[in-house]
A and B are shown apart, each in its own frame.
Chain A
Amino acid sequence: MSGGVAAVLGGLRTSGPLLALLALTVGFALADSGFATLANLRIILDSAAVPLVLAVGMTFVIRQGSIDLSIEGLMAACSLVFALAVANDRTQFDLGWLGLPVAAAVGAVFGLATGLIVTRLRVPSFMATLGLGSVGLGVAMLLSGDQPPLVRDTPLRQWALGQTFGVPNLALAAAACLVGGFFVEQFTRLGRYSYVVGGAESVARVSGINVDFYKVVVFAFAGLMAGLAAAMESARLGLGHVEIGAGQMLGTITAVVIGGTSLSGGSGSVLGSAVGVLALTVLANGMVFVGAPPHLEKAIQGAIVLVAAVLAGWHVRDRLRIVK
């Protein structure tokens, strides 16, 4: 095992996000007996699937020291493309399973565009992604027209709503993305270099790394994940919808930050983000179980972010550590 992997796992063990997740789970289980059942576990995994896929992509972007604010728009566009590409009530296309990679590809193209704008035109990533997100939203509205297209592809819908061996299919897909993301992060040159770019970009450049190339690849990857997530959600709900990504952006970034990835780049792992996603999903699910008003959820979410951030920085409470 590489030193990196051991370090990541070791870090998680003593980490705040995992503690937060455990605390939430135990808390809700005590509050309502129906919470800690197999049926609800399945539902939690199902609810966590789409945010997890998004978080994998976002982790890479944040690790690299950039930010991606375009998910909602990208998801909207990819959702519409997906819904119109598979059997639906508006167009004649019927791509079936190909609809998933097509949606992912559309996301990747958007991500590629973002990457090029950031590296060639030297636009900061938060601006470039905000802009491209709006473009995606506009494209989605154009495609949506009067009515959101309804997905009529039965096998796809059954897949999205169904399970295999008791595990929701979408959760399996998300797990596959997580494993893939982890592998890339720890064992490939892309993963290492994008981490290096996040930690010390100028040094990376001077060392001869083609920084721009890796940045573009990472943005394209995040776009790919957003497209896939959009397709999954559209298949589940049965329509291509402009609002399909609403609220996901802040939720994804929150999950990634809770999971231990610093917003300034050069740290973090997809495993941590996965823990963050689970924590937030458990929170939302548990709130419904105990019947708590939804605005309380936001307040608790905020508290969790704070606690996780404090715990993450606890061991380096150096007096002179710079905190902005």
Chain B
Amino acid sequence: MRQELAEFGAAAVRLVFALALAGAALPARAQALCEKSQIRLVNSMREITQPYHVNLNKGGRMFARWAGLEDNYVLQLNQGDSDKQIALMRSILATNPKCTVFNVEPNADVVMKPMVDTADRTGAWIVTHWVLNRGLHPFEGHDHWIAHVAVNSQAVGVAVSEQLVAAMGGKGGIVALQGRLDTDPAQKRFAGLKAVLAKHPGVTLLAEQPANWDRRAAFPIMQAWLAKYGDRIRGVWAANDDMALGALEALRAAGLAGRIPVVGVDGIPEAIAAIDRGEMTATVSSDAFYQGSIGLAMGTCVLTGQAPPPQTWAKEQREFFLRVVVITKDNAAHHAKEPAVDAYAGEWRCDNLWSRATGPAF
């Protein structure tokens, strides 16, 4: 009898533990905060002319369609103007603030605080990406800031720089095209490059210059560098794919396309095609489709009650690093295909929102 009781007790404890774990893993059902039809999904980004942003938008739209909220999807473009990004957010919150979810690609580090404050004040919901704002954390009293999906830009920079150095055989000079230096990704990616260079003394940094994330700006800069350094350039590092492609055209004009390794970041289709052709060496993708949709998914889950309110979430569920993918010739073909909804539907499920989290970002 005592033996049976013990077994029963152990089984009971196991059951309770399993239930508890299940309870922790499965978000407890909460009160729906909004009528589903009231939920408004807003994607706030810089512009829509670069492929990265095109895919951000596509991802957002895909989610909206999947969730049956296609008509409630709004795209806000600030054309590189931080004030405008904030102003656009405020103006749309004049109506229906409590059921609006913002998925934000910040134009610059400075917009984070004003946007988060606006959300707190109006009762709107916000998910931010990319920027790591020191001292600013969702779990420190910002109940409407659902989450911050950070990208470890330094790790990205390190990853892509290692590809470049490897392609160069560890020797030679490189030139670096930086992004807008008032943004965290630009600074961190470049820091990643510097870190890698420190470990490979055979590679020297000949010059660096910001090119505004834009291939049109990168082209003449690359041309000038080719004139100045000539043969000493054995590799080109760019903080994003668009600039890398601009540099590539300058190389093409000099007859060097495909002969000098070029790396970028973003994983836009054009870059993947270039990698496939052998004109670029590597790129890193944070998966714009995912970034453009996950914030909206999180917000929808909270508003429909399928996920509990954010203040009950664990800290690492509210500020985490996103998994990135290094794309090289080996997997270029695989990533060249246009993604389908099924690939993401699983990750939008309210019980699986953190499938790509790789660890806390604070």
* Direct chain A–B contact by Cβ atoms under 8 Å: yes
What is the interface of chain A, defined by CB distance below 8 A to chain B?
32, 34-35, 37, 39-40, 43, 46-47, 141, 144, 146-148, 150, 161-162, 233, 236-238, 241-244, 246, 284-285, 288-289, 291, 294
- Would B215 and A43 count as touching, CB distance under 8 A? no
| Residue picked from A37, A148, A161, A162, most chain B C-beta under 10 Å | A161
A47 with B223: in contact, given A288-B209, A294-B210 (CB under 8 Å)?
Answer: yes
Give the CA-CA distance A147 to B210 in the complex, in Å.
24
Give the CA-CA distance A131 to B269 in the complex, in Å.
34
Give the CA-CA distance A32 to B224 in the complex, in Å.
12
- 13 cross-chain CB contacts under 8 A: A32-B228, A39-B230, A43-B220, A43-B227, A144-B49, A147-B51, A150-B270, A162-B253, A233-B216, A237-B219, A237-B249, A246-B214, A294-B210
- Would A288 and B225 count as touching, CB distance under 8 A? yes
Give the CA-CA distance A46 to B58 in the complex, in Å.
37
Interface size on B, residues (CB 8 A): 29
Q: Is B26 an interface residue (CB 8 A)?
A: no
CB neighbours (8 Å) of B229 from chain A are 34
Q: Which residue on B lies nearest to A37, using beta carbons?
A: B227
Give the CA-CA distance A225 to B246 in the complex, in Å.
24
A161 with B227: in contact, given A150-B270, A237-B219, A294-B210 (CB under 8 Å)?
Answer: no
CB neighbours (8 Å) of B33 from chain A are none
Q: Is B75 an interface residue (CB 8 A)?
A: no
- Would A43 and B224 count as touching, CB distance under 8 A? yes
- Would B227 and A241 count as touching, CB distance under 8 A? no
CB neighbours (8 Å) of A288 from chain B are 207, 209, 220-221, 224-225, 228
> How many residue pairs between the two chains, A and B, have CB atoms under 8 Å in the bound complex?
72
Give the CA-CA distance A237 to B229 in the complex, in Å.
22
- Please encode chain B, from 229 to 247, with 1 for each CB lying within 8 Å of some chain A CB and 0 for all others: 1100000000000000010
CB neighbours (8 Å) of B209 from chain A are 288, 291, 294
A245 to chain B, nearest CB (A): 9
- Would B214 and A285 count as touching, CB distance under 8 A? no
Given A32-B228, A243-B216, 12 extra CB contacts under 8 A: A34-B229, A40-B224, A43-B224, A147-B54, A147-B269, A236-B219, A237-B246, A238-B249, A284-B220, A288-B207, A288-B221, A291-B207
Q: Is B356 an interface residue (CB 8 A)?
A: no
CB neighbours (8 Å) of B47 from chain A are 243
A43 to chain B, nearest CB (A): 5
A158 to chain B, nearest CB (A): 9
CB neighbours (8 Å) of B58 from chain A are 146
Give the CA-CA distance A286 to B208 in the complex, in Å.
15
Q: Is B29 an interface residue (CB 8 A)?
A: no
CB neighbours (8 Å) of A46 from chain B are 223, 253
Q: Which residue on A lies nearest to B57, using beta carbons?
A: A146
Interface of B is mostly: helix
- Would B228 and A34 count as touching, CB distance under 8 A? yes
Docked complex: B165-224 residues within 8 A CB-CB of A: 207, 209-210, 214-216, 219-221, 223-224
Q: Which residue on A lies nearest to B48, using beta carbons?
A: A141
9 shortest A-B CB distances, which residue pairs? A161-B253, A288-B224, A40-B227, A34-B228, A242-B49, A39-B227, A43-B223, A47-B220, A146-B54
- Would A40 and B228 count as touching, CB distance under 8 A? yes
CB neighbours (8 Å) of B121 from chain A are none
A285 with B224: in contact, given A150-B270, A241-B216, A243-B49 (CB under 8 Å)?
Answer: yes
Q: Is B113 an interface residue (CB 8 A)?
A: no
Q: Which residue on B lies nearest to A40, using beta carbons?
A: B227
CB neighbours (8 Å) of A285 from chain B are 220, 224
Q: Which residue on A lies nearest to B58, using beta carbons?
A: A146
Q: Is B252 an interface residue (CB 8 A)?
A: yes
- Would A237 and B227 count as touching, CB distance under 8 A? no
Q: Which residue on B lies nearest to A144, using beta carbons?
A: B49
CB neighbours (8 Å) of B54 from chain A are 146-147
Q: Which residue on A lies nearest to B222, using beta carbons?
A: A288
Q: Which residue on A lies nearest to B248, using beta carbons?
A: A238
Q: Which residue on B lies nearest to A41, using beta carbons?
A: B227
Contact of B249 among A43, A161, A162 (CB under 8 A): A161
Give the CA-CA distance A245 to B346 in the complex, in Å.
42
A77 to chain B, nearest CB (A): 13
CB neighbours (8 Å) of A37 from chain B are 227
CB neighbours (8 Å) of B269 from chain A are 147
Give the CA-CA distance A246 to B336 in the complex, in Å.
29
CB neighbours (8 Å) of A150 from chain B are 270
Give the CA-CA distance A43 to B223 in the complex, in Å.
7
- Would B224 and A236 count as touching, CB distance under 8 A? no
Give the CA-CA distance A240 to B216 in the complex, in Å.
12
CB neighbours (8 Å) of B249 from chain A are 161, 236-238
Give the CA-CA distance A110 to B229 in the complex, in Å.
43
Give the CA-CA distance A141 to B47 in the complex, in Å.
11
CB neighbours (8 Å) of A294 from chain B are 209-210
Give the CA-CA distance A308 to B208 in the complex, in Å.
31
